[in-house]
Amino acid sequence: MDDELLKVVSSLNRERAAYALATVVETHGSASAKPSSKALIDAAGRVLVGWVGGGCAESAACKAALECLGTGEATIIDIDLSDEVLGAGMPCGGHMRVFVDPVLPRPQLWLMGHGRIAEALCTLADALGFDVIVVDGAATWQRYVAARRLITDDLDYSQLAPLSQDFVVIASQHKGDHESMERALASEARYIALIASRKRSRLVLRYLRENGVDPDNLARVVAPAGLDLGGRTPEEIALSVVSQMVMVRRGGSGADKRETSDLTGENVHPVRLRSA
């Protein structure tokens, strides 16, 4: 990469912006770009810097970049430069292959509170691709070694500022949970959850509803948080919550992946797993 492209990449990473890098990996015949030519394409499908050829290749690369940013998967596209009707739109007389690699920022987990559940959740979330920001006056680096950031001086949660792809989990053990919840609901966070008992969850949601929070907005809250894994220990509860976060992030259903028929196509009864 040249210096200009590296500077733009560095700026996009600081801004936590999504982008795609298109790289020419192969050319045949008449092609204006050469192998290793690169272009940086933003989330709107615009080339920010670099070059992978003229309009005949650029439009195809930008279209592929938008698709890759939507799926999160890289791809290789074949561009026919010799067919102005069925190919890229300009009879250049050659062929090229372009590797398009999306770069998506890690989603942030804003974790309110402290205790063993929060500590385990921090560790698991980091391992599963989340940047963890812990907001709690008692948080220390010794307890949250996997956190990217600790906020220990935010009593009114004014620094709680999740973006649209971020996750918020409130594990404050009844201390300020409704205040932090109200602040989270003022954002466009993708996932907002409360770790609490069913009784406590109902009390918090009722308090917010009675204090003017829109019911449709309140419906965004997952309370109690997590999938029903039957977890009892702090680590098991943290696993149920982070499993739900992964489900939301990846668009999963949380359903059992086993099929109800065997390989011969005959119907079989699902196996019942026994708990210890």
Average pLDDT on 186-206 reads: 90
pLDDT single digits (tens) 133-162: 999 988 999 999 999 999 999 778 888 889
Residue partners of 273: CB distance under 8 A and separation at least 6: none
Q: Which residues contact 18 (CB under 8 A, 6 or more apart)?
A: 42, 43, 69, 102, 103, 104, 105
> Residue 41 belongs to what H/E stretch?
strand 38-42
pLDDT the model gives residue 251: 86
CA distance 159 to 157: 5
Return d(Cα 118, Cα 234) in angstroms, integer. 8
Token look-up 């009722």 returns 206
* Mean pLDDT, residues 109-120: 93
Angle at 195 between CA 201 and CA 187, to 5 degrees: 85
Q: Which pLDDT belongs to residue 273?
A: 46
Q: CA of 217: how far to CAs of 152, 161, 164, 174, 222, in Å?
A: 28, 17, 14, 21, 12
CB 205 within 8 A of CB 215: no
What is the structure's pLDDT at 16?
Answer: 87
What token pair was written down for 23? 């790289």
Phi and psi, residue 22, nearest 5°: -100, 130
Tell the residue number behind the tokens 């993708």, with chain if given: 190
The rounded mean pLDDT for the chain is 85
The answer to whether residue 103 scores a pLDDT higher than 90 is yes
pLDDT at 134: 95
- Cβ burial, residue 102 (10 Å; 0-12/13-18/19+): buried
- Type of residue at 257: K
Label residue 276 by pLDDT band (50, 70, 90): very low
Residue that wins the pLDDT comparison between 167 and 81: 167
Q: What percent of the chain has pLDDT over 90?
A: 45
Give the separation between CA 212 and CA 67, rounded to whole angstroms.
40
* CA nearest to 135, candidates 120, 156, 107, 117: 156
Distances (CA, A) of 134 to 40, 122, 223, 225: 33, 8, 20, 17
Residue 87 is predicted with a pLDDT of: 45
Residues counted in the chain: 276
* Token pair recorded at residue 177: 């949970």
| pTM of the entire predicted model | 0.76
Residue 168's CB is within 10 A of a number of other CB atoms, namely: 26
pLDDT at 265: 59
Distance between CA atoms of residues 1 and 48, nearest Å = 14
Please, which pLDDT band fits residue 233 given cuts at 50, 70 and 90? very high
Q: Which residues pair with 19 in a beta bridge?
A: 42, 103
Mean pLDDT of the 7-26 span = 91
pLDDT surpasses 80 at 34: yes
Residues with Cβ < 8 Å from 49, sequence gap 6 or more? Answer: 4, 5, 8, 39, 40
Q: What is the CB neighbour count within 10 angstroms for residue 152?
A: 12
Q: Residue 193: which H helix or E strand, with range?
A: strand 191-194
